[in-house]
Structure 1
Amino acid sequence: MGGNAGTARTPGRPRWTGPGRDDGDAGHDDYDDYDDDAYVDVVHRTWRHAATRPDAVAIRHAGDVWSYDDLVRASSRHARRFVAGGLAPGDRVLLVAPTSVGFVQAYLGILAAGAVAVTVNPMCTARELQYFAEDSGCRLVIGWHENARIAADVAGRLDLPFVELHDIAPGADDEVFEPVERAPDDPAVLLYTSGTTGRPKGAIITFGNIFASTWALCRTFDTTADDRIGTALPLFHVYGQVAVLACALDAGASVSLLRPFSGEGALRMAERDGLTVLCDVPTMWVEMLESARTLDPLPNITSLRLAASGGAALPVEINRAFAAMFGAGVADGYGLSETTATATCHRPGREPREGSVGQAVPGVEISVVDELGRVLPPGEIGEITVAGKNVMAGYRGRPEATAEAFSQGRHSGAADRHLARPLQRRELPNRGRQAARRLVHRRFRGPWKGRGHQHHDVRDAHPVHR
């Protein structure tokens, strides 16, 4: 990710024909011109890289390296085991694992078998895991070996099969599994929301959603197979899973994984692996800057051409400080689980505007509407609607919540869904209010937070809401 938008494309990537193709300042692009014929799901794209560039590096972690051939053969072992155990296309699999090579291998194995990955935080309690397993109708539970007991106990309580997950070392010689063909509208992942309106809801992310998001991000940041992408983000979350991992696999790039996170560890990883792209969240950038002040010599990360931030608003002062110290600006962005991690982002090489989370990415249309769905002029406060093929299919088993999330806007049909999120805290309860606080904080509270970061003794600052 990085560089001038709209120039580099990997083979098979759709050519953009709508407005704004060569104009990074366009408010949005005409997603109706998206080329559906170019759709290739993330599994087949990964398998294609393994077939054409088997020795290309796919993953780096803890000093070890996995090629695309290693990754596909390890994932094939999982897929074959799942299918032999009776897993059928569309079945849900609860994946309880941290950022690790094992997560990636099992995740691709689940998708290759045609099943749906239900990725959750490995720090969840037994009660939370049981809820996710029951609500999603899981047929299988996979738990990371370091904390497998809780997941195994939940599986036993629900009479579900359990698989303890480990990394499969490089050099696996398993026969390559033939992935199940999946259409763009077939579900790939079930991502549970934070549950501030009550019990968490599972957002259905389709293979087409993932393709739309990786297409948009790779185009925006010119991601190619030559990129070396790194992150310490949790892969169970949509940001790390789609905006980082899936984008790297889409382009045939490599991804370096760091766990646990430390500021020094992230900088050392960037230096050691010659990273060109580093993706993290604002608190991580703050920690890296803090660590850099104590390191002598400073890690050499001149290979870095792009730093990408998400998950929360990034203070402009942090962006400027990182760019001054390391020569690469941080591109801030905004997205939701329901929009498959993508909606807006700052374009690389441009001075970020304080209080802004950037412009709509290609294939996405952003509008601000009133309570009747009418588009409001600039400066007015209303609901943000996100339209595009990156928008989820709906919430599993919750037709009313799905209907409430989708507005009756200017577009209709599966390809033109609108997801509404409120800007005014008083308008909607709980979940709406939390989203409202995030958006209002970016638009109205950003300058106050920014002033805190301007003082040399302030490490991080956050507004307190009453």
Structure 2
Amino acid sequence: MNLAANLHRSARLHPDRTALSCGDRTISYTEFLQLSQRIAGVIRASGVRPDTTIGLVSSNVPAFPVVFYGALLAGCSVVPLSPQLTARELIYFFEDSDAQMVLAHSPDADAADAAARQIGLPLLRVTGDGLPESWVRDTQPIEEAVHRSGDDTAVILYTSGTTGQPKGAMLTHDNLNTNAWTMCETILESDQHDVMIICLPLFHVFGLSCGINAAVVAGAESALVPKFDSSVVADLIGSKGATLFAGVPTMYSAMLNDPGTHELSSLRVCLSGGAALPLEVLHGFERRYGATIYEGYGLSETSPAAVFNRPSIERREGSVGLAVRGTDVRIVDSQGVGVAHGVVGEIVIRGECVMAGYFGRPEATAEAIPDGWFRSGDLGRMDEDGYLYIVDRKKQMIIRGGYNVYPRQIEEVLYEHPAIREVAVIGLEHSRLGEEIGAAVVIREGFEFSQADVQEFCRERIAGFQRPRHIWEVRELPKNAVGKILHRSIRPPVGLTVE
């Protein structure tokens, strides 16, 4: 089953409906399919055979979905990559994935071009619509998708590489097809009348799978936003009458704190993932805009949605919901043994969403999936009804004087402080305790930072062993291309003495 069959289906059922929009450009489902068929023909004419890998470098413009589905139609696997990467970084990804060709949106292509030249890899620049800038001889569109097994790799998505080199998660056609249909039918409850705002990068699994792939299944319109700006996105929601939105917590925080007056009453379903959504942000956004946010949980290795809140189930405060269909989730201890309800342990996942493995890394695959259950590296607890509560990343847990401290729990409290707009809690090396607790905070406009005030605020709300002893102000927190706060990149101020 080729994932691209979903595009064929929607083009047949909704030929004249808008599939893609970006700025003033709109593309119907018929045109979307035809453009992708032409790109599939270009790939074949370039000598690239089915069952090989294509690199795709593009921002959120129509070129991305056109090339993505074109490569799938041609029977290839796709490695989506950020245009913000350097040539050196791209060389690693091209070589590690054994890419045979690269297609890049021309304004985003300079680093990819340089990388491809260095390693002798053919690169084709494409326009905003995904068409080649230069003519390719003997090109005939590929009208029918090349047959692929459901177990064949459709996409290789690279993990963030927080420890060691990034690894390529092999997501199959079945993985992504199941995820897209689950998102469409049970979480978004969407159809061809919906308009989804897609400002999440499409080279990231959340934007790709829960965004464009789900919209294609529904026959809905994908309104592409090349770069997130809270005012621009809010205005677009209003002008489009958009019904669906997916974002990471920092996007919701930015929209909540946007000073403009925006009308978002058309929004029916909002999705949040990629990191924990602070309750203060969730409640504030819903109060201000009247839209409901459904938070979920997943990883690149789980396609990504493994657990999600959705309209058909009760929302429980602090929970990311229940496992999606075809997926099982457990909480286990360090030995892989299941723990009781309410006990914190590692989240493990199995089912239709779990990747086939890491490309070219059988040992890493065996370590991540030793017994059919994927080890997430995340800590959580589950209640008696199966609702999952995320506690923190195992690697972000702070051990202070023998006590386990979970940064997310402290961050939730700090988000309640009226002066704090964003916060990240990290461990600081300490000679006696092993680690001490530090917090970097971004202060809201119109407020002044006072460490004494914040510490007093914490004293009333947090147990002594969990209170941050060192709090400092920063202008902004480091984030990745998706907008996720990078705790590992945060450093204490120069000269700070950890006592």
Same fold (TM over 0.5): yes
Measured after TM superposition, the shift of residue 451 of structure 1 is 2.6
Q: How does 1:33-432 map to 2 (within 5 A)?
A: 41-168=2-129, 177-221=143-187, 222-291=189-258, 294-295=259-260, 298-348=261-311, 352-408=315-371, 417-423=372-378
Aligned to 2:394: 436
Q: Is the 8 A contact 1:281 1:310 kept in 2?
A: yes
Measured after TM superposition, the shift of residue 300 of structure 1 is 2.0
Letter in 1 for 2:13: T
Structure possessing the higher radius of gyration over alpha carbons: 2
Q: Identity of aligned pairs, percent? A: 35
| Distance in 1 (alpha carbons) for counterparts of 2:207 and 2:283 | 24
Q: Unmatched 5+ residue regions in structure 1?
A: 1-39, 409-416, 426-433
| Distance in 2 (alpha carbons) for counterparts of 1:211 and 1:184 | 9
Q: Unmatched 5+ residue regions in structure 2?
A: 132-139, 381-391, 400-404, 429-499
Measured after TM superposition, the shift of residue 137 of structure 1 is 0.9
| Distance in 1 (alpha carbons) for counterparts of 2:327 and 2:378 | 19
Q: Is the 8 A contact 1:112 1:180 kept in 2?
A: yes
Aligned to 2:470: none
Measured after TM superposition, the shift of residue 280 of structure 1 is 0.8
Q: Is the 8 A contact 2:40 2:141 kept in 1?
A: no
Measured after TM superposition, the shift of residue 154 of structure 1 is 1.6
Measured after TM superposition, the shift of residue 220 of structure 1 is 2.3
Q: Considering Cα pairs closer than 8 Å and 6+ residues apart, tell me whether 1 or 2 has the greater RCO.
A: 1
Q: 1:456 to 1:381 in 2, by over 3 A?
A: closer
Aligned to 1:460: 422
Q: Is the 8 A contact 1:421 1:436 kept in 2?
A: no
Measured after TM superposition, the shift of residue 178 of structure 1 is 1.6
Measured after TM superposition, the shift of residue 209 of structure 1 is 0.4
Residues 40-72 of structure 1: CA deviation (Å, up to 9, x unaligned)? 543111112112321011111112211101111
| Distance in 1 (alpha carbons) for counterparts of 2:2 and 2:281 | 36
Letter in 2 for 1:88: R
Letter in 1 for 2:163: T
| Distance in 2 (alpha carbons) for counterparts of 1:54 and 1:176 | 18
| Distance in 2 (alpha carbons) for counterparts of 1:130 and 1:106 | 20
Q: Is the 8 A contact 1:355 1:444 kept in 2?
A: no
Measured after TM superposition, the shift of residue 383 of structure 1 is 2.3
Q: 1:365 to 1:203 in 2, by over 3 A?
A: same
Measured after TM superposition, the shift of residue 129 of structure 1 is 0.7
| Distance in 2 (alpha carbons) for counterparts of 1:459 and 1:181 | 50
| Distance in 2 (alpha carbons) for counterparts of 1:234 and 1:325 | 26
Q: Is the 8 A contact 1:216 1:363 kept in 2?
A: no
Aligned to 2:461: none
Q: Secondary structure at the match of 2:20?
A: strand
Q: Is the 8 A contact 2:14 2:29 kept in 1?
A: yes
Q: 1:352 to 1:439 in 2, by over 3 A?
A: farther
| Distance in 2 (alpha carbons) for counterparts of 1:106 and 1:235 | 12
Q: 1:439 to 1:185 in 2, by over 3 A?
A: farther
Q: 1:341 to 1:396 in 2, by over 3 A?
A: same
Runs of 4 or more above 3 Å deviation: 348-355, 422-425, 437-441, 443-447
Q: Secondary structure at the match of 1:390?
A: coil
| Distance in 1 (alpha carbons) for counterparts of 2:128 and 2:296 | 31
Letter in 1 for 2:427: H
Give 1 or 2: higher strand fraction. Answer: 2
Q: Is the 8 A contact 1:229 1:275 kept in 2?
A: yes
Residues 366-412 of structure 1: CA deviation (Å, up to 9, x unaligned)? 0012344322111223321111111000011111100011132xxxx
| Distance in 1 (alpha carbons) for counterparts of 2:108 and 2:336 | 47
| Distance in 2 (alpha carbons) for counterparts of 1:205 and 1:435 | 23
Measured after TM superposition, the shift of residue 250 of structure 1 is 1.2
Q: Is the 8 A contact 2:64 2:130 kept in 1?
A: no
What is the count of residue pairs matched by the alignment? 404
| Distance in 2 (alpha carbons) for counterparts of 1:390 and 1:142 | 27
| Distance in 2 (alpha carbons) for counterparts of 1:258 and 1:440 | 37
| Distance in 1 (alpha carbons) for counterparts of 2:225 and 2:359 | 32
Aligned-residue RMSD, C-alpha: 2.4
Letter in 1 for 2:310: R
Letter in 1 for 2:92: Y
Residues 300-343 of structure 1: CA deviation (Å, up to 9, x unaligned)? 22111111111110011111111111111211111100001111
Q: 1:372 to 1:464 in 2, by over 3 A?
A: closer
Instruction: Tell me whether 249-258 or 375-384 shows the greater mean CA deviation.
Output: 375-384
Measured after TM superposition, the shift of residue 110 of structure 1 is 0.7
Q: Is the 8 A contact 1:231 1:257 kept in 2?
A: yes
Measured after TM superposition, the shift of residue 119 of structure 1 is 0.8
Q: Is the 8 A contact 2:182 2:325 kept in 1?
A: yes
Q: 1:151 to 1:460 in 2, by over 3 A?
A: same
Give 1 or 2: higher helix fraction. Answer: 1
Residues 75-111 of structure 1: CA deviation (Å, up to 9, x unaligned)? 1111000011111111111111111111111111111
Q: Secondary structure at the match of 1:421?
A: strand
| Distance in 1 (alpha carbons) for counterparts of 2:152 and 2:121 | 24
Q: Secondary structure at the match of 1:302?
A: coil
| Distance in 2 (alpha carbons) for counterparts of 1:176 and 1:89 | 12
| Distance in 1 (alpha carbons) for counterparts of 2:12 and 2:204 | 29
Q: 1:353 to 1:436 in 2, by over 3 A?
A: farther
Residues 254-294 of structure 1: CA deviation (Å, up to 9, x unaligned)? 11111221110110111111111111111111111121xx2
Q: Secondary structure at the match of 2:147?
A: coil
Letter in 2 for 1:282: P
Q: Is the 8 A contact 2:71 2:77 kept in 1?
A: yes
